[in-house]
Amino acid sequence: MASDQPVLIQYFYPVLFDDRVREHVVRDGLYFALGRLARQAVRKRDLEIFALPHCRDRGVAEAVQCGADRLALRVEDRGLQGDEDACFHEESQLSHGTVRALQRCMIGVFDSGTGGLSVLKALRRRLPHRDFVYVADTARLPYGGRKPAEIHGFACEIADFLCGLEVEGIVVACNTVSSTALPQLRASYPVPVWGMVDAGVDTATRATCSGRVAVVGTEATVSSGIFQRKLEARGLRVWARACPALAPAIEEASPDVEVLIRHYLRDMPRVDTLLLARTHFPLRKDLFQKVASPRVKVVDGADTLAAKIAAELEDEGGGTVRCYSTGALVAPPILSACKASLSSPCLSCALIEQRALP
């Protein structure tokens, strides 16, 4: 045996200390350790917190993914960019097997842009432990000037994507889609689908004392007449105005938002309630209140809708928020406001290419 030892050392030494072999040994050991940690993270329901922050190596991200039975979110070569609160990546094809352990408690929310974040904020107040996934279709913003069939097509693409993530329900945080396509969506998907119209009508009905209500929204929402019909059916007098340029201005944090609000409300008759029938508008509720005067109650349906959903669902989950965008991510001032208002322990943002939608 003694005579064999030098031979073993002769062959073993160069193999063990060859740079390529050593790299694989170290990498495989790291992957194994990360896989064990990822499994623990799944059991503790904080995989998202473990997998995303400060992960800048694709191999590490893939190790977490494999070690957790493909439950972690994949990351491209360039890794995550941004800060501790909002991690951006550009994964063009999202895995529909993402974090299955948490999906049973996940609610999907979508809008044509960031306006639906006002609804998501209300939902998180009522359901702080629920996990949410939010989709902003910023590549095709605004929806208001589009035909109903086109709006329905966009909504179905996003609903297909959310159902692929196995969400428990879908919140249409868009008054335009709620006004033109909600019945079709409810008939097409096996999960509950909630919309904005009835919540807005209920809120305005409770708020008004004089029975005179003004409604502002997109061209599609106002031309559908659904808010007017439902409010008038309750004996209220309604004035409605489309505000096509306002949502893009809010989305871009334009300094002209107040000027546009004054323009659209210049002919508003004497009312005591102003219903914001577009989810972007509550993001600048302060300016609507300033222009409309203190005697007018400026309301929207977000909290009413959130209360309805909270009454139907248990408040369980990890309390995470994941935001996706089909186009350019939001302007920094709005993003900062979103991060501050959502105050999630794990807020991650991603870019979805349109071809990645079903």
Model pLDDT for residues 241-264, shown as the tens digit of each residue:
999 999 889 878 899 999 999 999
At 72, which helix (H) or strand (E)? none
Residue 31 has pLDDT above 90, yes or no: no
Choice between 29 and 18, residue whose per-residue pLDDT is larger: 29
Residue 342 has pLDDT above 90, yes or no: no
Please provide residue 299's backbone torsions phi and psi, each rounded to the nearest 5 degrees: -130, 165
Over residues 130-134, mean pLDDT: 91
The tokens describing 30, both together, are: 């790291």
Report whether 162 contacts 239 (CB < 8 A). no
Neighbours of 348 (CB within 10 A): 24
Q: Which CATH architecture has domain 198-303?
A: 3-Layer(aba) Sandwich (3.40)
Mean pLDDT of the chain: 75
Over residues 274-281, mean pLDDT: 96
Over residues 296-325, mean pLDDT: 92
Smallest Cα–Cα separation from 195: which of 206, 208, 184?
184
The tokens describing 54, both together, are: 């400060």
Tokens 């957790």 sit at which residue?
68
Model pLDDT for residues 218-228, shown as the tens digit of each residue:
999 999 999 99
pLDDT at 174: 96
pLDDT-based confidence at residue 37 (cuts at 50, 70, 90): low
pLDDT-based confidence at residue 29 (cuts at 50, 70, 90): low
Output the CA–CA distances (angstroms, integers) from residue 299 to 190, 319, 337, in the order listed: 31, 27, 20
Report whether 283 contacts 337 (CB < 8 A). yes
CB proximity list for 250: less than 8 A, separation 6 or greater: 115, 257, 280, 281, 283, 284, 334
Q: Where are the domains of the chain?
A: 5-89, 101-192+320-356, 198-303
Two domains, one topology: 101-192+320-356 and 198-303 = yes
Choice between 291 and 61, residue whose per-residue pLDDT is larger: 291
Please provide residue 88's backbone torsions phi and psi, each rounded to the nearest 5 degrees: -105, 140
pLDDT at 235: 97
Cis ω on the peptide bond leading into residue 294 (within 30° of 0)?
no
Over residues 101-118, mean pLDDT: 80
pLDDT at 317: 84
Topology, domain 101-192+320-356: Rossmann fold (3.40.50)
Smallest Cα–Cα separation from 300: which of 99, 154, 119?
119
Residue 77 DSSP label = T
Sign for the pseudo-dihedral over CA of 51, 52, 54, 55: positive
pLDDT at 321: 85
pTM of this structure? 0.69
Give the SS3 label for residue 258: helix
- Three-class SS string for 82-144? ECCCCEEECCCCCCCCCCHHHHCCEEEEEECCCCCHHHHHHHHHHCCCCEEEEEECHHHCCCC
The tokens describing 157, both together, are: 């693409």
pLDDT-based confidence at residue 75 (cuts at 50, 70, 90): very low
pLDDT-based confidence at residue 3 (cuts at 50, 70, 90): very low
Model pLDDT for residues 329-338, shown as the tens digit of each residue:
554 445 555 5
